[in-house]
Structure 1
């Protein structure tokens, strides 16, 4: 097995929540999980903090701008098998956004939607994002 096949990749995800308690989801444009709903997020670039990456990915995928300093750390998810591409570790952040925040799909997102938390969990999510939402739920 090559060294790159076992190297852990680093990502950042965002749980964006409006005052009604709805969460922002993206429909994945690419594999894995093409067409499935997920939290906005993506790879941390070299020289970038996970907090900066989270803010950047949120804006790139949804058009929603949140200052990196306003993101609240939630935790790190790194269980083996959480991503079918190999070992991934993600730092998750909570973003509280104003009512009426408009989101528009772009970049890796084929579509976006604001959805009630319970519905998001019932409908199913890519990766371990349902586990992440269940962990964040008490804070919402």
Structure 2
């Protein structure tokens, strides 16, 4: 019997909410260049997904949060969720106070606060992640 191995990449994404809106980035490069997506990215060696989520949120949007203020939404691991190959993400939810501003950084071409009612058609499976966050008990939505 021949064994086959699959490369799996580990990432973290963040649903960051403020006043009924979710913070989204405009992707600066493929895949899904120009599409709106959640802030997120690769988990670095020696890093937890929670720490990576907070780091990526800060790098891509300038919004700093304590990693322990984030709540795990779930693990997303559908084999076809990313056209680049197998990506498994830990998705987190965090609420930030009114008045928090964001600005594009790292691989984000732009950032925007989007009302929940308009947070659909996002890159990857991010619409599903936002939907799951909405239905969490004690969700800010």
The alignment's TM-score, normalised by the length of structure 2, stands at 0.92
Unaligned ranges ≥5, structure 2? none
- 1:134 shift after superposition: 1.1
- 1:83 shift after superposition: 0.2
Partner of 1:95: 94
Q: Secondary structure at the match of 2:119?
A: helix
Q: How many residues align?
A: 134
Distance (Å, rounded) in 2 between the aligned partners of 1:116 and 1:71:
20
- 1:110 shift after superposition: 0.3
- 1:56 shift after superposition: 0.1
Structure 2 residue 115 is matched with structure 1 residue 128: no
- 1:100 shift after superposition: 1.4
Distance (Å, rounded) in 2 between the aligned partners of 1:94 and 1:120:
15
Structure 2 residue 36 is matched with structure 1 residue 42: no
Structure 2 residue 14 is matched with structure 1 residue 14: yes
- 1:62 shift after superposition: 0.2
Distance (Å, rounded) in 2 between the aligned partners of 1:24 and 1:103:
8
Equivalent residue for 2:134, pick from 121, 131, 137 = 137
Higher helix share: 1
Q: Secondary structure at the match of 2:75?
A: strand
The alignment's TM-score, normalised by the length of structure 1, stands at 0.92
Distance (Å, rounded) in 1 between the aligned partners of 2:70 and 2:32:
26
Unaligned ranges ≥5, structure 1? none
Partner of 1:61: 60
Distance (Å, rounded) in 1 between the aligned partners of 2:131 and 2:70:
18
Runs of 4+ in 1 over 2 A off after TM superposition: none
- 1:89 shift after superposition: 0.3
Structure 2 residue 26 is matched with structure 1 residue 27: yes
Distance (Å, rounded) in 1 between the aligned partners of 2:71 and 2:114:
20
Partner of 2:113: 114
